[in-house]
Amino acid sequence: MNGFLADLPTYLTAIGQTLFIVLVSLVVAGALGLVLGVALAVTRRGGLLSNPVLFAVLNVVVNIVRPIPFVIFVIAIAPVTIGVLGTYLGPAAATFALSLAAAFAVSRIVEQSLVAVDPGVLEAARAAGASPLRTIATVLIPEGLGPLILGYTFLFVGIVDMSAQVGLIGGGGLGDFAVTYGSQRYDWPVVYITVATIIVLVQIGQLVGNRLARLALRR
Amino acid sequence: MTAAVRVEHVTKRFGDLVALDDVSLEVEEGGVLGVIGYSGAGKSTLVRLMNGLEQPTTGRVLVGDAEISALPERELRRVRRDIGMIFQQFNLFRARTVAGNVAYPLRVAGVSRTERDARVARVLDFVGLLDKAHAHPEQLSGGQKQRVGIARALATSPRLLLADEATSALDPETTADVLALLKRVNRELGITIVLITHEMEAVKAVAQQVVVMEAGRIVERGSLVDVFSAPATPAAARFVRSVLHDRPTGATLDRLRSAHRGRLVTVRVADRPGFTATVSDAFAKRRLSNELVFGGISELGDRSVGALTYALDGPGAAVDEALAELRGAGIAVEEEAAG
């Protein structure tokens, strides 16, 4: 614990790195996952842009990537990460790998939220003369917004979890800090301070998500 | 007379299922066509052909000058702006306010904001929900939701309104309100309406022309009064009976038969002077005991329709003579089959 005060600047940096990794990944994975999830939802048979062949391809791709354990995925795409960023170490590299892996997870969350939207309202939009793309943007996504926000909140918690894992393999952030300054020095209070920090982070995220979802659902 | 909608020899298959089988019909400009049939008769498919939500397997569908069945999807979108549609489950956008719902078709049509606001206010006023403009759909009752649905369908000032079981999810009182509103839409705005329903009550309240569907085919068609006063097919007769309650059936018929002697004969009400005198004369002059045991008369448009059932007792030949005399006078007479 004596060491912790000395390590305070490192701790604060680690928090900053974790926030960077989590927020950037949330935005990038959120956007990629939204596109992929919308594609999955509308190309299925009977969807707005029903295209069984494209759906089958997307479905298989997502199914291949999703079950790969995240730590292995990060290592497996290290050559790509190096190709893009020049290194596979540090917060930027961690964010790259995390965004990619999370995007596939998000796509399923988005797909589920959107498939649950009442087909009747989509038909009402079609009967009003709306094109499929307009219907997606102005009806499908707004009507599924409540579940979508809850899904993204779930994703946020998952990304915090994953950000700690990338920390262990050289990504920086709180996971890295807990190991390097905590467990490896047998300084358990440092480990628990880190755990508490992550819990607070997750609580804040969940609270914000719930509030937004309630606004969207007006409940 | 120009036709607002023309369906020509349309057949629609979904895989092996034949939803519509060589259906042809016309809806006159400014008219109200009621399409009635049990669920699965093909009514919804028929109405969805009229705004191109479905395309026929064979045959043609025309709305005004537009050949709906020949237009590519992109062109159809433009045509759909001139065709309103309302649904059984209302299908309102839950993420939008009442005003937002009504404005939606106008946004799609690219109407400017000021024009949009003015039109939204006008149609909401027409359906009597101007005070609910900022409410969300879940705050409304079923009847109010359908009135919003109607306002949304009217926003673009369409010439044709398609109503797919528009009152089937509503209670009887609310149904009457919504039907009255549809009648105003037709009379005051001159909008042609195609009303799909399995409730004869809805057809009776609004339609001028009626089409009866069964198993993908039109089995009967005609003016409301004709179909009601003289249904020619069993399907039509069942629907008419469900509203008029003018013919004894099932248990009622059994009870009447055991309670009265003689033959049960149903005379259809002819809306003309001296009708009852003609009937009672035919019975009286043959000294037939005649007792009125069942019946009902309803007002339809400006005519009375219905039927009266008599228990006739007397010599068989005299009864036959009396019935022949009535038929000779142009009065439809039917004997209730023995149980």
Half-sphere exposure of A127 (CA within 13 A, CB side): 30
CATH code of A154's domain: 1.10.3720.10
Contact (CB<8Å) B96/A142? yes
- Please answer yes or no on whether B136 and A218 come within 8 Å at the CB atom: yes
Which stretch of A72-81, B19-28, B185-194 has the lowest confidence by average pLDDT? A72-81
Inform me whether the C-beta atom of residue B136 falls under 8 Å from chain A C-beta atoms. yes
Inter-residue contact B325 to B294 (CB < 8 Å): no
B258-309 pLDDT, tens digit per residue, is 888 888 999 988 888 888 888 988 998 888 888 899 988 887 767 788 889 9
Element (DSSP H or E) covering residue A5: helix A2-43
The answer to whether residues A121 and B92 touch, using CB atoms and an 8 Å cutoff, is yes
Looking at the complex, does the CB of residue A87 fall below 8 Å from at least one CB of chain B? no
Determine the angle formed by the axes of helices A90-115 and A145-166, rounding to 10 degrees.
150
User: Which structure tokens are listed for B90?
Assistant: 């209302």
Whether A39 has its CB under 8 Å from any CB of chain B: the answer is no
- Cβ-defined contact of B89 to A120 (cutoff 8 Å): yes
| pLDDT tens-place values along chain A, 219 residues long | 556 677 788 888 888 888 888 899 899 999 999 999 999 999 998 889 999 999 999 999 999 988 888 888 888 888 888 888 888 887 888 888 889 999 999 999 999 999 999 999 999 999 999 999 999 999 999 999 999 999 999 888 888 888 888 877 777 777 777 777 777 888 788 788 888 888 898 899 889 988 988 888 776
More confident residue, A175 or B125: B125
Tell me if chain A has a CB within 8 Å of the CB of B257.
no
Q: In what order do the strands lie in the sheet with B289-300?
A: B289-300, B303-313, B263-268, B333-335
d(C-alpha A195, C-alpha A183), whole Å: 12
Q: Within an 8 Å CB–CB cutoff, is residue A19 touching chain B?
A: no
Which CATH number applies to B3-242: 3.40.50.300, 3.30.390.50, 3.20.20.220, 3.40.47.10?
3.40.50.300
**CA B44, CA B55: separation in Å to the nearest integer?**
13
What is the pLDDT averaged over residues B112-123?
96
Within the 53-82 window of chain B, which residues sit less than 8 Å (CB to CB) from chain A?
53, 74, 77-81
Are residues B299 and B244 in contact, defined by beta-carbon separation less than 8 angstroms?
no
Contacting B residues, span 193-252, partner chain A, CB-CB under 8 Å: none
Report helix, strand or coil for A164. helix
Is the pLDDT at B70 greater than 70? The verdict is: yes
- Residue A148 lies in domain: 2-218
Chain A residue numbers touching B152 (CB-CB < 8 A): 124, 128
Chain A residue nearest residue B103, CA to CA: A128
Q: What is the pLDDT of residue A170?
A: 72
Backbone angles phi, psi at B332, to 5 degrees: -75, 130
**Residue B307 φ then ψ, to 5°:** -155, 155
Instruction: Return the pLDDT at B150.
Output: 96
Type of residue at B54: E
Give the span between the Cα atoms of B334 and B320, in whole angstroms: 11
Nearest to A129 among B94, B95, B109 (CB): B109
CA distance A134 to chain B (A): 8
CA A113 to chain B, closest CA, distance in angstroms equals 14
Tens digits of residue pLDDT in B163-180? 999 998 899 889 999 999
Q: Is A187 on the interface with B (CB under 8 A)?
A: no
pLDDT of residue B258: 87
Question: Could you tell me the pLDDT band of residue B235, with boundaries at 50, 70 and 90?
Answer: confident
Task: Output the DSSP codes for B141-189.
Answer: -HHHHHHHHHHHHHTT--SEEEEESTTTTS-HHHHHHHHHHHHHHHHHH
Is A166 within 8 Å of A94 (Cβ atoms)? yes
Residue B83 sits at the chain A interface (C-beta within 8 Å) = yes
Q: Say if CB B162 and CB B50 are below 8 A apart.
A: yes
Report whether B35 contacts B213 (CB < 8 A). yes
**How would residue B71 be classed by pLDDT, with cut points 50, 70 and 90?**
very high
d(CA B132, CA B135): 5
Selected from 3.40.50.300, 3.40.50.1220, 3.30.420.40, 3.30.70.260, the CATH number assigned to the domain covering B245-335 reads 3.30.70.260
Which residue bears the tokens 């009776």? Answer: B204
Any B CB within 8 A of A148 CB: no
**SS3 of A118, please?**
coil
Is the predicted ipTM greater than 0.90, yes or no? no
DSSP annotation of B131 reads G
A89 three-class SS:
coil
Burial of residue A20, with CB atoms counted within 10 A of its CB: 0-12 exposed, 13-18 middle, 19 or more buried: middle
The string over B162-171, giving b where at least 16 C-beta atoms fall within 10 Å of a residue's C-beta and e elsewhere, is bbbbbbbbbe
Distance CA B282, CA A10 (A): 112
B154 pLDDT exceeds 90?
yes
Outline where B43-162 has alpha helix (H): 43-49, 73-80, 98-108, 113-126, 142-154
Task: Tell me the average pLDDT of chain B.
Answer: 90
Query: What is d(CA B97, CA B118) in angstroms, rounded to the nearest whole number?
Result: 16
Specify the number of domains making up chain A: 1
**With 0-12 CB in 10 A as exposed, 13-18 as middle and 19+ as buried, what is B304?**
middle
Residue of B nearest to A131 (CA): B77
Share of residues in chain B with pLDDT > 90 (%):
58
Q: How far apart are CA B103 and CA B118, in angstroms?
A: 10
Read off the pLDDT band of B1 (50, 70, 90). Answer: low
B112 interfacial to chain A (CB closer than 8 Å): no
pLDDT score for A20? 86
Partners of B107 on chain A (C-beta within 8 Å) are 138
* B chain contacts of residue A128, beta-carbon cutoff 8 Å: 80-81, 104-105, 108, 152, 156
Given this model, what pLDDT does residue B115 score? Answer: 95
Nearest-Cα distance to chain B for A71, in Å, is 39
Task: Give residue-wise pLDDT tens across range B205-216.
Answer: 899 999 999 989
Question: In a mutagenesis test of the B interface, which of A48, A49, A114, A126 is the best target, namely the one with the most B β-carbons within 10 Å?
Answer: A126
Q: How far apart are CA A107 and CA A31, in angstroms?
A: 10
**Are B95 and A127 a contacting pair at CB < 8 A?**
no
Provide the pLDDT for residue A4.
Answer: 67
Chain centre distance of CA B79:
25
Contact B188, B111 (CB under 8 A): no
Residue B339 clears pLDDT 60, i.e. is over it: no
Write down the domain spans for chain B. Answer: 3-242, 245-335
- pLDDT given at position B338: 67
Put simply, whether A128 touches B (Cβ < 8 Å) is: yes
Q: Is the CB of residue A145 less than 8 Å away from at least one CB of chain B?
A: yes
